Structure formats: C-alpha cells, structure tokens
Amino acid sequence: MRKNIFEIMQEKYNYAEEIKKLSRLLHESMIKYDQEEFTLEEFVDEYEFDNWKNSYHYIDCEELKQAIGINKIIAYISRGNSISIKQVLLFLEYILNIISLCEKSQPIFFRHAYFIKPYSRLKMNIEILLSNLNYEYKYFEKEQQVLLVEKDAAVFAVADIVEEELAFKVIEYNHYLLKGDLDKKRGILKVLADKVEGFKDNLDKGLSSDFGYLANNINIRHNNLEGKHKKEYLVTIDKEELEEWYDNTYQIMLLCILENNYRIELKNKIKEIKDKIN
C-alpha cells in the first residue's frame, strides 16, 4: 500500500539531525532585553544561572554542558554519527531546563524582556521530538527542575493529587536515567510504601494484600537478602527480573493512591451528581 506523506516523514525522522537543528537554534538570539539580543544560554548566564538551585559549583551553561556530556553529544553527531535515545533525552532535558529558567525569569515575567521569532521554532521542534519519543516533561517548582518521563496517564494522575515532594518521587521513578538503578528505585518505592501504608485500610482487600506482600517481601521495606527477613528466591533472582517486580510494585502503588483518592474525594462527588440527576 502506498504510504502517505506523513508516514514517510515519520520514517525519515532522524534523531541526530534533529539534535543538530536544536543545537543550531541554541546559537540564535531568542530574547530581546534592554535593547540587546541574547541566546537562551547567554540570557541564563547573565541573569539566572547563579541563582539556579541546580547550578551547583558550575559557573555557566558552557561548563555545565561540558560536565554532563552535552558537548560530547554535539561533537559526536557533527561527525555524522548516530546517537542513542538516552543521549537525545539528556540533550532535551538540558534545553528544557534552560528554557524554564528563561520563562520564569523576572524580566520575562514582568515583560521587560520578550522572546523573538526563533524561540517558537525551538519549542515546536522540541515538542515534535518528544512526541516521536513518546516522552513528556514536568516542572517541579521546589526542585527548580524539569524532568522527562515516558507518557503514562496514571503517573501524572497520581502526581497531580499528592504533595509536591512525593509527586517529584513519582515522576522521578520513570526517569530514563533510573533504568537499571535498583538502589534508587528501591528508595522511591519505600517512600511510596510509607505513603500507602497510611491508608491501606481504605483499599480493596486484594489490592491492599498484594501491596503489603510486595512491599515487605521483595527487598523494599526489609532486607530480604539476608537476616531474619531473608527470602531465598530473592538471593538468586537476576537483576532484570527484580527490576521488573519493582516496576510492577510501582504500578500497584499508583493504583493504591488512585483508589484512595476515589474513596475519599471522588466517591462523594459522584454521589452528589447522582442525587442531582435522579
């Protein structure tokens, strides 16, 4: 069957070429302020970098890019090499954090500075690339940070109904850099388990029982590799299978939080509208 133009475009979407475009756009002036024009990074270096919580000991965007490997990615693709999805996501996350710093800057907020034409093109290309990757981003005010995660309706539904610190943990669990990092995943699951434990009596008995079993028996709440809580099966299980069970437990905890929200928030609202309709 003959393919339409959109299907052909989708097949020809080259991640390395798209990163090249974004890198090129980063060198164009995008903000006008006090009769001067700045690239996004120039603006951040001048007005925002020193006040950013995540600047740590770095002195400017260039040093940060060097440290986290952005410059290596740009050099690699400039020689005609392809790049991994992980590298694409790292580059995008860097740009989105720089964009966030600009958008939340006081000169922009008070409209003393404003974005100029290449900026809209940059944002559009980022959105297209994220759509192709099936990723989305979320900004955390307290952390002053943008994170990229795979699209998952349940994850964002939970993040919207819990406190911000916990929401950050919920989003962070799906972060691409945590794949294979069982220690960090275990830490997040323990925080979520402590949250669910506080309302597990509100849950369906089967769901509550499964949550309790997994939280206590797959090396999350207790050390199940040695000592009095040791489980022989976990000693021999391979890392990939254990991570799969961690991911399953994460999904169960999300369900627990959503069910609890239904019981304490939505159920009464549904009863109200039923009464009104009937």
Q: What is the mean pLDDT of the chain?
A: 92
Q: What is the pLDDT of residues 39-92, one digit of tens each?
A: 999 999 999 999 999 999 999 999 999 999 999 999 999 999 988 889 999 999
Interval 255-268: pLDDT, tens: 999 999 999 888 88
Band (6; pLDDT cuts 50, 70, 90): low
* 210: pLDDT strictly greater than 70: yes
Span 15-37, average pLDDT: 95
Per-residue pLDDT, 8: 52
C-alpha atoms less than 13 angstroms from C-alpha of 121 in its C-beta half-sphere: 13
Least confident of 4-8, 34-38, 136-140, 168-172: 4-8
Question: Residue ranges of the domains in the chain?
Answer: 5-151, 168-277
pLDDT of residue 150: 86
